[in-house]
Amino acid sequence: MRRREFLGTSAAVAAAGLAARTAFAQSPDAVNGAKKLKIDAYSRHLHWLRTPDEVAEAVIEMGYEGLDITVRTYPGHVDPEKVATDLPPFVNTIRKHGIPVTAITTNITDADSPNAEAILKAASSLGITHYWWGTFRYEPGKPLMQQLDALKPRVAKLAALNKKYNMKAMYHTYSGDVLVGSALWDFLYVLRDFDPALVSFHYDSGHQTNAGGNNTWALNMRAAGPYIGGISVKDSVMEPASAPPAGGGPFSDHPNASAAERGGPPPAGVVPGGTPAPGGATVGSRGGRGGGRGGAESPNGWRVRQVPLGTGMVNLPLLAQVMKEINFSGPIEVQCEYPMGGAENAMDKITIPRAMVLGTMKRDRLVLKQALTAAGLS
């Protein structure tokens, strides 16, 4: 999308604002017999907006139908240490704008994580039902199945806490050889001993496509069907590490675009759209957090680069088809992790105009909406 195209998108966004407010309240719950899915915005990409009113106005401008709120340390929108006092007014203000809030993103790994019970208690009191959960790591050199068995007591303890507060944990999936759940089958082996109403997957389409080529990801998704509690949709391509930096952002011609967005050389140790990783490894967007997950440059010189939805390897029509097959009904959101003025990396300041960030996030929503509509899910 170039600046001329964006102007048209901006006008459409503005014109749709009031209609979107009404649609939130009036949309039917089902279309053609399948449950209607509402697409959430992810507040991680809106950290540069600090008040709930600002965030809500942005969500409405983009036409999203709900919001997943980050309950994480700054720049997260709600501080976990103050969740009891700060989450209710934030959520209630968002809802006053007609925007549903059913999910939050947390750093909860298990029931003993800092503030875990306080977060679930506060969220449950507000009628929130889902939250991001994870992530477990493998210990090198130890038998994998023994490690998975050792996780079961920790999952059991979290499931009990979720039952207490009527919450569903969604374990976010990544790709790579050090994080549990990358293969999906591995953590499904653990989850199958527990109620999917309490513990589930937060299925990441980008990472799972990277981890399961030739549509292996679709086979995995069907197998995990009842345990797919939520879905995060994003896209990427695999390219030679020797390829010239390609940017990937839709506003590379804007004078305030970053070097990566313009296609210029990124900082050392960073793939366009990515972040530095421990030890200087080259990884995809957010790859440094947690280490070794999708995007790592392979020994034979390939890398993953994040791109706008519908322009990469993710098969959106097939994704929507499988969602329908497994009767998926949980929250679904879009992650925009390609260069977007800092918004892709949860920054509290952006380097391109507000309207451009919102315009590109709206574009991804429209692409996903088209795939869902074609499958009878929207």
Average pLDDT of the residues in 220-227: 98
Residues 309-357 pLDDT 10s: 999 999 999 999 999 999 999 999 999 999 999 999 999 999 999 999 9
Contact 187, 137 (CB under 8 A): no
Given a cut of 70, whether residue 278 has pLDDT beyond it is no
Q: Calculate ∠ Cα 70-120-105, nearest 5°.
A: 20
Q: What is the pTM of this model?
A: 0.81
Task: Give me the pLDDT at residue 242, please.
Answer: 84
What is the spatial distance between Cα 210 and Cα 315, in angstroms, rounded to a whole number?
Answer: 12
State how far the Cα of 69 lies from the Cα of 361, in Å rounded to an integer. Answer: 16
- Tally of CA atoms within 13 A in the half-sphere of 366 that contains its CB: 12
pLDDT for the residue numbered 300: 73
- Tens of pLDDT, residues 34-85: 679 999 999 999 999 999 999 999 999 999 999 999 999 999 999 999 999 9
Structure tokens at 55: 């965030």
- pLDDT digit string, tens, across residues 171-186: 999 998 899 999 999 9
The confidence score (pLDDT) of residue 268 equals 34
Q: What angle do CA 21, 13, 313 make, to 5 degrees?
A: 105
- The answer, yes or no, to whether residue 270 has pLDDT greater than 70, is no
pLDDT, residue 246, reads 63
| Mode of pairing for the β-strands spanning 228-233 and 199-204 | parallel
Q: Give the three-class secondary structure for 152.
A: helix
- Model pLDDT, residue 267: 32
* Cis amide prior to 226 (ω within 30 degrees): no
Find tokens 């977060």 and name the residue: 119
CA angle 109, 150, 330 (to 5 degrees): 45
Q: Which of 363, 351, 353 is nearest to 259 (CA)?
A: 351
For residue range 112-156, list pLDDT tens digits in order.
Answer: 999 999 999 999 999 999 999 999 999 999 999 999 999 999 999
Q: What angle do CA 51, 54, 56 make, to 5 degrees?
A: 105
Buried b (16+ CB within 10 A) or exposed e, 240-260: eeeeebbbbbbbbebeebbeb
Q: How much is the average pLDDT of 293-306?
A: 70
Q: Sorting pLDDT into bands at 50, 70 and 90, what band is 29?
A: very low
Domains of the chain: 36-238+305-374 (3.20.20.150)
